[in-house]
Structure 1
Amino acid sequence: MAKRKAPAADADVIVVGPGPAGLALAIALAQEGLRTTLVGEVRTARDGRTVALLDASIRLLDAIGAWHGLQMQAAPMAHMRLVDATDNLFRPPPVTFNAGEIGLDAFGYNIENATLVAGLAALADNTRGLARVAASATAFTAGADFAEVSLDDGRILRAPLVVAADGRNSRMRADAGIDIREWSYPQTALTAILAHSRDHRDTSTEFHTRSGPFTLVPLPGLRSSLVWVCSPEQAETLAARDDEGFALAVERQARSMLGRMRVEGGRGRVPMSGLSVARFTADRIAVAGEAAHVFPPIGAQGLNLGMRDVANLRDAVVDARTRGLDIGSPEALGAYERGRRLDVRLRTTGVDALNRTLLAHFLPADLLRGAGLIALDLIGPLRRFVMREGLAPHARLPRLMSRAGAADPLL
């Protein structure tokens, strides 16, 4: 009796989840000649959310050909100002970071999330070797030669490697048996886009309050995006106000820094929480983006960390193929596992520590945070080191994020 022939793979890589990280990864892999399938329906709801893309993320988008079409719809963040508004006994002066101090025109750019996704989706549609499947993935199974992804339309797709970029509630990650740790904070983040009467001068301002950071980030024109972290009770009260009342509350909280304000577009409300994974890979699968880590919206780390996932995983897959390895094997994925573990752990710890010190109402914590801000204001080398580390880890950046042929100011 003839031996039954195994079914062929449908792609080299299946990426599940068409958010910014999933889209960018699928495009990057297809551009390297890997047959790539992106699974999921693109959603571009305008809900007042923006993303602050730091310099290394901009380089990645530029390298895959996405940034040229997005730049005019984004605003540069040339300056970042930290203001202690905790009303503690030891209040340091505001600290301003200038991108020019580390050789950059801007720390990054702020753009509406829906605009970013739409731009990446349009590029994906025109990328050779990249297939789009609008169905939802319902199950993941790892096999000896390839993994299978079941779809809600009854189809089954096969590839040597699957990437779970399907968000914090990732079905692919759960089916792969990757354990997670989740936590929450007694806070809610309110998001909105506001027009204002004064120029933001390409400056992002973050007020540290007792309930969490209150941040205004520049958008093109006389507009800024808001992330206001506060108690659930305060968030409930603020969310119940009409647009005029909400804008007035924002104006007062911002000390009228940007003049009169007006809500422009949708408003959002997000409970503050976090998530981390026990490992970034399993049999024939890697996790990336919010399937791998979830951050509260503090310090612009969430999507930027996801973009580093993209760049690191792209390097690991390309290098494995060059060496003739099975790209879904533990040996091939080992570089990605090792490369992401320390970076994500350090960022998670840093953001969590900052947020908890604001909530502590503990004098030694206030003194330590205040002394740190004063040191950043007065000590130039320390300030520049913190700026570089805030943009990227103190390590060699993956290739799509590096400045080819020049000394990298981030290193």
Structure 2
Amino acid sequence: MLDMLVVGGGYVGLAAAVAVKQAAPHLQVEVVEAAPAGVWEKDERASAIIAAASRMLSVLGVWDEIAANAQPINRMIVTDSRTSDPVRPVFLTFGGEAEEGQPFAHMVMNVDMVRALRGAAERLGIAIRHGLSATAFQTGSTRSTVSLSDGSTIETRLLVACDGVRSKLRDLAGIRTVTWNYGQSGIVTTVAHERPHDGVAEEHFLPSGPFAILPLTDNRSSLVWTERTADADRLVASDDLVFEEELQRRFGNRLGDLRVVGSKRAFPLGLTLARAFVAPRLALAGDAAHGIHPISGQGLNLGFKDVAALAETVVEADRLGLDIGALNVLERYQTWRRFDTFRMGVTTDVLNRLFSNDITPVRIARDFGLGLVERMPKLKSFFIDQAAGKANDDAPKLLAGQAI
């Protein structure tokens, strides 16, 4: 019988397995992943990793490998305009350091994260079983019996669902969600440009939704381009010439001519918040617990915060001789994470509704608000601390760069 079975072998699932196994080597931990081996290594996307998450990854022994190809975000600027506006005034700027010498975020290639976390899992002796999904589970007094898609079963004291925003395990457990669709899709691609970005990230609030330009190495940028779903599908299906013309209109000319160098994909955007993060012998983490709008770039970082809290809950319970899958143990994890997650979900929802429109009175009010933040250093510092995930006294140890 396993001590912990993680369903989902993406960044959050692998990090959860590594964090627990590293701190408690005697625990038997395995990962099952629905995708065949090698699929995650083909992911062309990039993600923003905040300072708190990079501190955790450093404790897990993988950050140096990931950071070798990472791009620090030195500064962030925020504008609010229409696509046709000849000038986009900057309403808000953020300096790039969470602490002296430490950028508040890095842009990291997803493939580098998976490779590093998978290597750490293998070094710790964590078995990763590819091409398998969980089809059912039965919960008993001391264990859960999980049925897999190949007909086999696994018994485990704790089942961790990291199987995405449409989590099968969450549904099987009867955990309800708060869910709605924004009618938007996020177009994701990578572009090369003539002039250097100098590590500057840009967030342009346009009537159809936020348009984020995120710096990568080698004079490239990652885009998260929000459009109404029908328009996004049309743009992704268009040829490169049409796509690049539309892209240049939104991107502007600051970095010169653009060239798409990555695949173009559109992802539907919505809000999904689980009403509970735990059930007997089950914990939800990552997108299985929460799917939010990418307007703040915090989706993956919320998942890494889940990992830090869950790992500390499990490891400390084990050291006290408690049952790591018992509901009263797991409720500490839920208490730790649910408020922060709901707060971020509500914040991103309000921001998206506030900025994804062209109503003149609303534009005036929001631009006044952005300008007010720009002129109040203490308030700006607060937002930078929040964006970087600055650890407070109650934060999980891993987010503060401390071993469990």
Q: Shared fold (TM-score greater than 0.5)?
A: yes
- Within the candidate set 7, 11, 18, 1:20 is matched to 11
Matching residue of 1:397: 395
Once residues 224 and 394 of structure 1 are traced to their aligned partners in structure 2, the CA distance between those partners, rounded to angstroms, is 29
Cα shift readout 1:290-326 (whole Å, capped 9, x = no counterpart) = 1000012211110000000000000110111122110
User: 8 Å contact 2:52–2:391 — kept in the other structure?
Assistant: no
Once residues 232 and 153 of structure 1 are traced to their aligned partners in structure 2, the CA distance between those partners, rounded to angstroms, is 36
Once residues 125 and 258 of structure 1 are traced to their aligned partners in structure 2, the CA distance between those partners, rounded to angstroms, is 41
Query: What is the TM-score when the length of structure 1 is the normalising length?
Result: 0.91
Counterpart residue identity of residue 128, structure 2: R
Counterpart residue identity of residue 11, structure 2: P
Whether 1:65 and 2:56 are equivalent positions in the alignment is no
Whether 1:138 and 2:135 are equivalent positions in the alignment is yes
Once residues 13 and 397 of structure 1 are traced to their aligned partners in structure 2, the CA distance between those partners, rounded to angstroms, is 23
User: 8 Å contact 2:211–2:225 — kept in the other structure?
Assistant: yes
The runs of 5 or more residues in structure 2 that have no matched partner are none
1:8-407 alignment, distance < 5 Å: 9=1, 11-32=2-23, 33=25, 34-40=27-33, 41=35, 43-44=39-40, 46=42, 48-86=44-82, 93-100=90-97, 102-128=99-125, 130-134=126-130, 135-392=132-389, 395=392, 396-404=394-402
Q: Root-mean-square deviation (CA), in Å?
A: 2.1
Aligned-pair CA distance for 1:364: 4.2
Aligned-pair CA distance for 1:182: 1.4
Once residues 390 and 346 of structure 2 are traced to their aligned partners in structure 1, the CA distance between those partners, rounded to angstroms, is 14
Distance 1:360 1:121, change over 3 A: same
The runs of 5 or more residues in structure 1 that have no matched partner are 1-8, 406-411
Once residues 389 and 82 of structure 2 are traced to their aligned partners in structure 1, the CA distance between those partners, rounded to angstroms, is 28
Aligned-pair CA distance for 1:26: 0.5
Cα shift readout 1:233-290 (whole Å, capped 9, x = no counterpart) = 3323322322233223222211112111111121111111121101000010000001
Aligned-pair CA distance for 1:59: 0.9
Distance 1:152 1:240, change over 3 A: closer
Once residues 168 and 121 of structure 2 are traced to their aligned partners in structure 1, the CA distance between those partners, rounded to angstroms, is 23
Count of aligned pairs between the two proteins:
394
User: 8 Å contact 1:212–1:358 — kept in the other structure?
Assistant: yes
Percent of aligned pairs sharing the same letter: 34
User: 8 Å contact 2:59–2:401 — kept in the other structure?
Assistant: no
Aligned-pair CA distance for 1:386: 1.0
Aligned-pair CA distance for 1:92: 6.3
Aligned-pair CA distance for 1:83: 1.0
User: 8 Å contact 1:92–1:374 — kept in the other structure?
Assistant: no
Counterpart residue identity of residue 397, structure 2: R
User: 8 Å contact 2:51–2:98 — kept in the other structure?
Assistant: no
Query: What is the TM-score when the length of structure 2 is the normalising length?
Result: 0.92
Counterpart residue identity of residue 127, structure 2: A
User: 8 Å contact 1:141–1:175 — kept in the other structure?
Assistant: no
User: 8 Å contact 1:49–1:268 — kept in the other structure?
Assistant: no
